[in-house]
Amino acid sequence: MRLTVQHKTHYTYDAPVPYGLQQIRLRPKSRPGQQVEDWQIEVKGGQVEVSFEDEHANSVDLVSFHPGETRIEITCRGTVDVEDRAGVVGPQGGFVPLWLFERSTALTHPGPQIKAMVAAMSEGGAPVEQLHALSAHILQVVPYSTDQAASDLTAEDALSAGHAVCQDHAHVFITAARLMGYPARYVSGYLKMDDRVEQDASHAWAEAHVPDLGWVGFDVSNGYSPDARYVRVATGLDYRGAAPISGLRYGQAGEQMSVSLQVQQQ
């Protein structure tokens, strides 16, 4: 499937920002099953200082604000060909050892509720079946809602919140999968919802590493594994490691963010 993406993130500040940086992970890469035909990033109100590849092979750009700026806009436009591989991403490449994906992070630290949830899961079955069962179970316990309780919720807190956005679902899944002995990671990217062009926000899901298959994706919020409608952009141990934009600025200015995202089939 050939998908075109236009993703605009717009920040406005109620006072000039003397100095600020945004670290952006917004460049999808070509890989088996995903061919990036064209991808451009345009920054208004700032400039790209450096670009590099991080430990998860994400392409990262560091953007600085023009001094005294009150608005900054980051626009990504591109075309990506994606195949349906039933969520199978394949073996771990590069230097990162698999044990790194068993590490818990601040956002994916297992608390009593997640431990209890994992303990109650029935054992047996193939790894992929176990993980699908986990995914379905999480969606049942914390149904999807577009109403995000907080942007930086831990997996344990997300479970108590009663409902979750895709980011929370991914965190709960990652935390539980690690407890079950599977290396797991967070994926940020895009999803073309069938019923619309304008998407609410960029998407997030999880991947677990399964013997023989390698990395397999699980989109808890939608209850299936990623197919040809999903563009993988960045991966990390949790949201913070794969966040599309994470920034830091000097001064007291308040920030407002708006996102517009169109994903469509060409």
Task: Give residues in contact with another protein (CB under 8 A).
Answer: 19, 21, 23, 49-55, 60, 62, 64, 94-97, 99-100, 102-103, 237, 246, 248
In angstroms, give the least distance from the CB of 115 to another protein.
Answer: 20
In angstroms, give the least distance from the CB of 23 to another protein.
Answer: 6
Compute the CA torsion angle 5, 75, 88, 110 (nearest 10 deg). -140
In angstroms, give the least distance from the CB of 227 to another protein.
Answer: 30
Of 100 and 197, CB closest to another protein? 100
In angstroms, give the least distance from the CB of 237 to another protein.
Answer: 8
Of 74 and 82, CB closest to another protein? 74
In angstroms, give the least distance from the CB of 252 to another protein.
Answer: 16
Task: Return the ∠ at Cα 103 (arms to 234 and 101), rounded to 5°.
Answer: 40
Of 49 and 83, CB closest to another protein? 49
Q: What is the DSSP letter of 181?
A: T
Of 82 and 177, CB closest to another protein? 177
Listing from the earlier edge strand, what are the strands of the sheet with 69-82?
34-44, 69-82, 2-17, 255-265, 198-199
β-bridge mates for residue 35, sequence order: 81
Task: Give the Å distances, CA to CA, from 113 to 131, 143, 186, 256.
Answer: 18, 16, 20, 34
Tokens of 125: 């079955």
CA–CA separation, 23 vs 245, rounded Å? Answer: 6
Of 117 and 237, CB closest to another protein? 237
In angstroms, give the least distance from the CB of 84 to another protein.
Answer: 31
CA–CA separation, 192 vs 4, rounded Å? Answer: 9
Of 20 and 87, CB closest to another protein? 20
Contacts of 57 (CB under 8 A, 6+ apart): 29, 93, 94
